[in-house]
A and B are shown apart, each in its own frame.
Chain A
């Protein structure tokens, strides 16, 4: 009896989560996979036909897909790395005790709490090449001579949206890592102190290794989130100029919501999922999932 209990316990524990997911999301995803094999334009229900892997080949031949793939990689790597980097610094700073800590911790949350629509519009306005506040500040500081039309040049548009997403994501890492820092037992730091470790050594030898699981998981989840984020880019540049800031998720969004081509959009979505899972596979080998500590 005890044996049965301990054997089925994990299944019972995960059952609610699994059931909820299965009930709600299994059919929509299966349906999407089905659509990827169809010529399926939402408003032409009479023209739906099975076309095998044609969508998959067409996507590979699509130059817009290829450019958006490159942009997606830059967007994810650039965006998530700096979110993490500054988020970690912020977490370490906020982990110290100082006056007004609670207040500071709360207001740094603001970028994360702001709805995407507003983030897109406000940053677009701040970047504006004629009367944008960013140009004004840079000009006052003599960093630039002439105002730069950040969003109107393909050399700078992707950079501009990446900076915006970095801004948006720093609080996420700060909070997640701050929570992770709490799980590090005080004794380890005390032991380090006894051994005469400097702050720098403590960081590399105690904090970072202990934080590793949290870092790996939160980075991975953030990569997925950033890869799928649409609103900031869509509002700020619409993927432009040209296709210079078009990511795969924005492309999927436009194909689904603007062209209503669900067959093609589903295929794009499946490619995005495949690419992310391959990346996750290599990434997760660092994180021994089976291990029980």
Chain B
């Protein structure tokens, strides 16, 4: 019995997991291996997996000669403020869409979707003028504002879905017990939607962390975010592969570490305890 269980586990759990994880991580490993290769090992006639003379020079250069840390702080600031504002606004709206029937509801929620469908590249120039006139241009807030316009619709939809997934009976029960609607929202709905909120927050954070088109236009050297900084390593006649790959390796780390800290919320959430309690 136990043995067949192990085989079963191997076939249906460990092997698919290992394959998927390998697929997800391999390009990253490749990026890392590239980043520790000295320049003259980049171009070889046969594929060489491991560098003969690994070097950390690219990382040293990255931190000493470029503004990478500053860029990272900028990205971090923009991504967290965007996530905070978008989540706050979206949770409220999503609750309304999931729990109320009101006139025009369908138009509002569909218009959110339509806004999301429109290619951002065409919104750039008018938004640029708006940012300039409001004095937000070249401040991080121009990015926060611009990102909110596409993270909010997205988050409203996602969160509406998550809230709708929760049985409404739980809230009703609380209201019967004497809670007001707001109390029921704060005590029941919000905690129970925590996994969804965390997932949406991650979505917003990553979107803002990676966004390039707006970041290119709305920042200057002082407020530049990571993707734009990475792009400066690509010259007209030369790609700084070492810096680019080292930068790429470093760029992902803060988000992954951040995620490690919140991922427990995503899964253990509060579901089990709350529903039973």
Q: How far is the CB of A100 from chain B (nearest CB, A)?
A: 11
Which chain A residues in 90-109 approach chain B with CB under 8 Å? 90, 93-96, 98, 102-109
Q: How far is the CB of B245 from chain A (nearest CB, A)?
A: 8
Does B127 lie within 8 Å of A110, measured CB to CB? no
B58 at the binding interface (Cβ < 8 Å): no
Q: How many A-B residue pairs have CB under 8 A?
A: 309
Closest to A210 in B: B165
Q: How far is the CB of A97 from chain B (nearest CB, A)?
A: 9
Which residues on B sit within 8 Å (CB–CB) of A217? Answer: 157-158, 160-161
**Which one of A46-54, A56-64, A148-156, A265-273 is at the interface?**
A265-273
Does A14 lie within 8 Å of B118, measured CB to CB? no
- Compute how far the CA of A10 lies from the CA of B89 in the bound complex, rounded to whole angstroms: 13
6 smallest A-B Cβ distances: which pairs?
A179-B199, A13-B96, A217-B161, A28-B126, A10-B100, A10-B96
- Bitwise, B192-207 to A at CB < 8 A (1) or not (0) is 1101101100110010
Are A20 and B202 also in contact (CB < 8 A) when A28-B127, A178-B267 are? no
B168 at the binding interface (Cβ < 8 Å): yes
B97 at the binding interface (Cβ < 8 Å): yes
Closest to B270 in A: A182
- Compute how far the CA of A265 lies from the CA of B97 in the bound complex, rounded to whole angstroms: 34
B116 at the binding interface (Cβ < 8 Å): yes
- Compute how far the CA of A14 lies from the CA of B108 in the bound complex, rounded to whole angstroms: 9
Does A179 lie within 8 Å of B123, measured CB to CB? no
Task: Among B17, B120, B164, point to the contact of A293 (Cβ < 8 A).
Answer: B164
A206 at the binding interface (Cβ < 8 Å): no
Which chain A residues in 125-161 approach chain B with CB under 8 Å? 125-126, 131-133, 136
A21 at the binding interface (Cβ < 8 Å): yes
Q: How far is the CB of A27 from chain B (nearest CB, A)?
A: 6
Which residues on A sit within 8 Å (CB–CB) of B188? Answer: none
A243 at the binding interface (Cβ < 8 Å): no
Task: Among A105, A125, A252, point to the contact of B121 (Cβ < 8 A).
Answer: A252
Task: Among A14, A180, A293, point to the contact of B168 (Cβ < 8 A).
Answer: A293
A197 at the binding interface (Cβ < 8 Å): no
Which residues on B sit within 8 Å (CB–CB) of A118? Answer: 31, 230, 244-245, 247-248, 251
Task: Among A11, A131, A167, point to the contact of B102 (Cβ < 8 A).
Answer: A11
Task: Among B145, B165, B168, B272, point to the contact of A214 (Cβ < 8 A).
Answer: B165
A114 at the binding interface (Cβ < 8 Å): yes
A228 at the binding interface (Cβ < 8 Å): yes
Does B123 lie within 8 Å of A29, measured CB to CB? yes
- Compute how far the CA of A122 lies from the CA of B245 in the bound complex, rounded to whole angstroms: 9
Q: How far is the CB of A242 from chain B (nearest CB, A)?
A: 23
A205 at the binding interface (Cβ < 8 Å): no
Number of A residues near B (Cβ < 8 Å) is 101
Q: How far is the CB of A116 from chain B (nearest CB, A)?
A: 6
Task: Among B96, B106, B148, B203, point to the contact of A14 (Cβ < 8 A).
Answer: B96
Which residues on A sit within 8 Å (CB–CB) of B230? Answer: 115, 117-118
- Compute how far the CA of A17 lies from the CA of B111 in the bound complex, rounded to whole angstroms: 12
Task: Among A28, A213, A256, point to the contact of B164 (Cβ < 8 A).
Answer: A213
Which residues on A sit within 8 Å (CB–CB) of B74? Answer: none
Which residues on A sit within 8 Å (CB–CB) of B166? Answer: 183
Which chain B residues in 250-277 approach chain A with CB under 8 Å? 251-252, 255-257, 259-260, 263-264, 266-267, 269, 271-272, 275-276
Q: How far is the CB of A14 from chain B (nearest CB, A)?
A: 4
Does A292 lie within 8 Å of B114, measured CB to CB? no
Are A262 and B266 also in contact (CB < 8 A) when A21-B115, A217-B157 are? no
Does A25 lie within 8 Å of B199, measured CB to CB? no
Does A108 lie within 8 Å of B21, measured CB to CB? yes
B167 at the binding interface (Cβ < 8 Å): yes
Which residues on B sit within 8 Å (CB–CB) of A172? Answer: 203
Does A175 lie within 8 Å of B20, measured CB to CB? no
- Compute how far the CA of A213 lies from the CA of B264 in the bound complex, rounded to whole angstroms: 23
Which residues on A sit within 8 Å (CB–CB) of B122? Answer: 28, 32, 35, 252, 256, 262, 265-266, 269
Which residues on B sit within 8 Å (CB–CB) of A28? Answer: 122-123, 126-127, 130
A81 at the binding interface (Cβ < 8 Å): no
A201 at the binding interface (Cβ < 8 Å): no
Does A27 lie within 8 Å of B130, measured CB to CB? yes
Q: How far is the CB of B152 from chain A (nearest CB, A)?
A: 5
Does A121 lie within 8 Å of B244, measured CB to CB? yes
A1 at the binding interface (Cβ < 8 Å): no
- Compute how far the CA of A269 lies from the CA of B203 in the bound complex, rounded to whole angstroms: 25
B50 at the binding interface (Cβ < 8 Å): no
Which residues on A sit within 8 Å (CB–CB) of B245? Answer: 118, 122
* A-B contact list, 5 entries, CB within 8 Å: A16-B89, A102-B264, A107-B25, A126-B30, A280-B117
Other contacts beyond A105-B266, A180-B162: 11, CB < 8 A: A21-B115, A114-B248, A171-B24, A175-B199, A185-B167, A273-B118, A273-B119, A277-B114, A277-B117, A289-B110, A293-B168
Task: Among B110, B145, B239, B255, point to the contact of A113 (Cβ < 8 A).
Answer: B255
- Compute how far the CA of A132 lies from the CA of B123 in the bound complex, rounded to whole angstroms: 37
Does A249 lie within 8 Å of B165, measured CB to CB? no
